[in-house]
A and B are shown apart, each in its own frame.
Chain A
Amino acid sequence: MAFPYRSQRDINMSNTPLLELSGINKIYKMGQIDLQVLYDVSLHIYNGDFVSIVGPSGSGKTTLLNIIACLDRPTSGTYNFFGEDVGLKSNDEMSEIRNLRIGFIFQSFNLIPRHTALENVIMPLHYSSRFKNSSFKDLGLECLEKVGLSERVGHYPNELSGGQQQRVAIARALVTNPEIILADEPTGNLDSKTSDDIMELLKNLNKSGKTIITITHDNEVAEQASEIIKIKDGRVI
């Protein structure tokens, strides 16, 4: 399979994985029945990777993404995040990881409707003591400029097109300068032209050094990635 562009990993030649999942099982208890969603998943993601996780719906890819995102804990198995075992982290420490080291992009953008673009972008900064309040605005504007939305800072989400909303969401994902961007079907709600623009933006972010993990069932999107992880019935294939 030919990758459309050279991964950042080839340039870095880094050998220690950023994220390391080994033997991950996830079982949901549904009353009396145990529903196993993930079976013995192991994977390594390196700094600078652009990974696509693909699979049909119900395959467990969202559960896997939630575990990678530190939103959920595996039933068994270990997950090392930057060399540290997430299983040993408290909920607050997991919140901090999500706040500072992971940027989130969703299919439905997930902006807060009564806040302006800029206010949405700087929201993660409120939840960390690392940033000074006086720097919030500059950081937010800087990120909006990166996604080409300098003109729209004062607009509310309902005044923006889908593509523009997704750009605001990307700016929000970038504002704490995380190493990893997690994108859950980032183009699922967009037309093909806008999808291409958003994918271009993600590729550029990858070039600038961000590790990008996306889940999708759109092959066109998946093929943009430097690595594709296929998942079916809870197993990596």
Chain B
Amino acid sequence: MIPNYILSNINEARINLFRNKTRTLLTSLGIIIGITSVIILIAITNGARSVIETQLTSLGAKTIMLKPFVRTASGFSTGRGQNFNENELNLIKNLDSVDYLAPIVKASEEVNYRSTSNIIALVGTNPDFAGINDWKNISGSFITENDVKDATKVCVLGLTNSRRFFGAEDPIGKKIRINGIPHLVIGVLEPKGLTPGGRDQDDFILLPYTSLNRLLFRPDMSNIVTVLMSARSSEELEYAKFSIIKILRETRNINPGEDNFDISSYEGVTKKILGTTKILRILLTSIASISLIVGGIGIMNIMLVSVSERTKEIGIRITIGAKSRDIVFQFLCESALLSLIGGIVGVLLGFIISKIASTIIGWPAIVSLSSVFVAFFFSGGIGIFFGIYPAFKASKLDPIMAIRNE
């Protein structure tokens, strides 16, 4: 509970500030502008960050790739480490820091539909594949767990293959032949276009990895040479990699340096890009802080005016027994409240303006709770800091002279 002494001082400050509404508003304008701009800037850079992060996710920034280690001699492969078994994959899948895990089986086989025939890249995987590279369907559905379990003869087409075989026709529900065996088309994926290197990212057909293995007459797990995973967030990427390495070393009973697997990710890119947004945010926030300091000086100025206006009152208070600290506290309460009013108005304005701005610029504005708290503490702190000098000046008044002041 707040002691009554503080409450009565806050009440005193409230009476004084509300008596002079125009002045209070004008004085806190500096703080209002400062806090408003800090809130907007943080909201918009947060929004930008989340947009960048989603884009990075679709580029695979949270993706971890696991492969057996390939031994090379003079540039030629001389053998490779063991493949991953189901137990290892289950342990990895159960990690908190890992969201998705998709085994990858690759092949190139002949595909035909009516008179069209072509050799197409086939990718055998599971439902998690969609989450890892942010693949979405433009029509139909995706591979399900049951498809994987039962090795159903279904497939999902990349947009290039949908166009190649079906043209303008709707491929859903049609059957294409892969190595002569009919597979039901259940979905078409949203296009991702070309890579910077000119490779078509949509020229492939997805199957359940069990179905592809069966098609190629291979046992279920033997051909899993690549495993794709995605970390829950880009911040957790390193931790996820560390945990995966630990699991594999434990199950395989190997020491560091003897790893017979290869783990890689694109964390460097993520770090650089997110680092840039951080620098941007620090820069913009420090520019906004200048207006907070200017606002603080405004508060100091008006508190000095207020002290000299109330010289007589201060004289009366000291005469009837107020100690220096009572006077200091009274004026600090007033400057802190003045600044906090600015802070509250600033947070509200900042919230409204960033919502409006976000609809105009078309990316989300995220007003975080932490930025609101920081704004409150900052504005209160500025009020106290810039109120110290006027408050001490008031407390040092000579009551004999002060009380004669009219």
Contact = CB atoms under 8 A, between A and B. Distances in A.
A158 to B, nearest CB: 14
B4 interface: yes
A172 B317 CA distance: 12
B5 A110 contact: no
B19 interface: yes
Interface of B is mostly: helix
B316 A127 contact: no
A219 interface: no
A71 B320 contact: no
A106 interface: yes
A12 interface: no
Contact of B321 (A99, A114, A115, A133): A99
A133 to B, nearest CB: 4
Given A114-B15, A133-B4, A124 B321 contact: yes
B403 A110 contact: yes
Contacts of A95: 318, 321-323
Given A104-B319, A123-B320, A72 B19 contact: no
A14 interface: no
A45 interface: no
B208 interface: no
B321 A96 contact: yes
Contacts of A155: none
B346 interface: no
B400 A112 contact: no
Contacts of A34: none
A71 B313 contact: no
A59 to B, nearest CB: 17
A75 interface: no
A188 to B, nearest CB: 14
Interface string B1-29: 00011001000000110010000000000
A106 B403 CA distance: 10
B67 interface: no
A172 B320 CA distance: 9
Contacts of B19: 114
Nearest to B312: A110
B324 interface: yes
Contacts of A104: 319-320
B326 interface: yes
Nearest to A69: B319
Nearest to A92: B323
Contacts of A114: 15-16, 19
A98 B319 contact: yes
Interface in B101-146: none
Interface in A153-209: 172, 176
B399 interface: yes
A127 B323 contact: yes
A91 interface: yes
A106 B404 CA distance: 11
A176 to B, nearest CB: 8
Given A66-B400, A112-B313, A126 B319 contact: no
A99 B313 contact: no
A175 to B, nearest CB: 9
A230 to B, nearest CB: 23
Interface in A206-220: none
A128 interface: yes
Contacts of B313: 112
B146 to A, nearest CB: 72
Nearest to A103: B320
A100 interface: yes
A126 B5 contact: yes
Sorted from nearest, which 8 A-B pairs have the closest CB atoms?
A: A99-B321, A133-B4, A127-B321, A124-B320, A95-B323, A98-B321, A127-B322, A110-B316
14 contacts: A95-B321, A95-B323, A96-B323, A98-B320, A106-B403, A110-B316, A110-B319, A110-B403, A114-B16, A127-B321, A127-B326, A133-B8, A172-B320, A176-B321
Given A91-B324, A124-B321, A128-B321, 17 more contacts: A92-B323, A92-B324, A95-B323, A96-B321, A98-B320, A99-B321, A99-B322, A106-B403, A110-B319, A112-B313, A123-B317, A126-B5, A126-B8, A127-B321, A127-B323, A133-B8, A172-B320
